[in-house]
Amino acid sequence: MYDSEEAAAQAWDKVAWVYRGKAQGLNFAHLVPEYDTEESKRVVHEMMDERMSMHKPRGKSASAAIILPRSFQSP
């Protein structure tokens, strides 16, 4: 997915910065000004939306109701 460990760490930093907004705990905190641009934020949000869409349930079971045992149901 990434060409190097450094590239993967920078990608993690961008996501962490966009969603948490804190430089604490970043691998490359000195790059925060590069992460804090509208373009960088847009790219991160698009990437995360795409990744999340791959994990959404699909098919018949996705809309099925959860049926609880009688012991969990209200009287």
Report yes or no on 26 lying in a domain: yes
Report yes or no on 40 lying in a domain: yes
Handedness of CA 33, 35, 39, 45 (dihedral sign): negative
Using CB atoms within 10 Å of the CB of residue 41, give its burial: 0 to 12 exposed, 13 to 18 middle, 19+ buried.
middle
Report yes or no on 46 lying in a domain: yes
Report yes or no on 21 lying in a domain: yes
Q: Which range marks the domain in which residue 18 is found?
A: 5-54
The pLDDT, as a whole number, for residue 60 is: 55
How many domains does the chain fold into? 1
d(CA 43, CA 50): 11
- The larger pLDDT score, comparing residue 69 to residue 55, is at 55
Report yes or no on 69 lying in a domain: no
Global pTM exceeds 0.75: no
The pLDDT, as a whole number, for residue 5 is: 92
Report yes or no on 64 lying in a domain: no
Residue 73 — very low, low, confident or very high, per pLDDT cuts 50/70/90? very low
